[in-house]
Chains A and B, each alone.
Chain A
Amino acid sequence: GESVGLHLPTLSVQEGDNSIINCAYSNSASDYFIWYKQESGKGPQFIIDIRSNMDKRQGQRVTVLLNKTVKHLSLQIAATQPGDSAVYFCAETSNSGGSNYKLTFGKGTLLTVNP
């Protein structure tokens, strides 16, 4: 079946550096993509989203880039802080029929920020 995957399972950066987390997806029908942050023992926390009619969206310290040609999604975190240490998941939604949208999660990238 179609899936969402990640290039790098772990990423270690120095505090203050910029972080880039990548994600590849295979469902060409995907039209909505989300990045989540998950800290240990907690549920996913929404970071930023982007729809397929856009190629870039910025939030506070975060930017999501979407390249539909190569089915690639990235999350950029500026001036990474120790509090950014967590597992980051990309997810894509597809309509499973009717009004239900199913989320498919990527494998996740563990981001470690060194002080």
Chain B
Amino acid sequence: GAVVSQHPSRVICKSGTSVKIECRSLDFQATTMFWYRQFPKQSLMLMATSNEGSKATYEQGVEKDKFLINHASLTLSTLTVTSAHPEDSSFYICSASVLEMADEQFFGPGTRLTVL
């Protein structure tokens, strides 16, 4: 149980375009979803936290207008990288948690974004 999927697993886009990444909890309802970014040989850095039906809370230094997060249902959250630039190339990972076990997060497999 507690499986989280991401789609796509990897995406290549041109500079200036927008890319949407989906995060789904497959066998549970996630009250909270988290988005992380990981640059090569670095650790995971939390970008934002989103609760179903409410606006995401962004970490300091993360542009909310550039990284649009939508958490419309208890099983789906999306991250849209708008007007992507090469420096946005990274590994994006989502995780999900449930209210009953709020301190445990279940991670997705990640999405590799390459902006040309």
Contact = CB atoms under 8 A, between A and B. Distances in A.
Whether chain B is bound by chain A comes out as: yes
Interface of A: 32, 36, 41-46, 49, 89, 93, 95-96, 99-108
Interface in B25-69: 31-32, 34, 42-46, 49, 51, 57
Interface stretch (B11-19, B71-79, B82-90, B103-111): B103-111
Contacts of B46: 102-104
B105 A103 contact: yes
Interface residues of A, dominant DSSP: strand
A89 B43 contact: yes
B84 to A, nearest CB: 20
B74 to A, nearest CB: 14
B90 to A, nearest CB: 13
B7 interface: no
A106 B103 contact: no
A95 B6 CA distance: 26
B51 A108 contact: no
B44 A44 contact: yes
Contact of B102 (A43, A46, A99, A106): A99
A99 B50 CA distance: 12
Contacts of A42: 109-110
A107 B43 CA distance: 5
Given A99-B32, A105-B44, A106-B43, A43 B107 contact: yes
Nearest to A45: B107
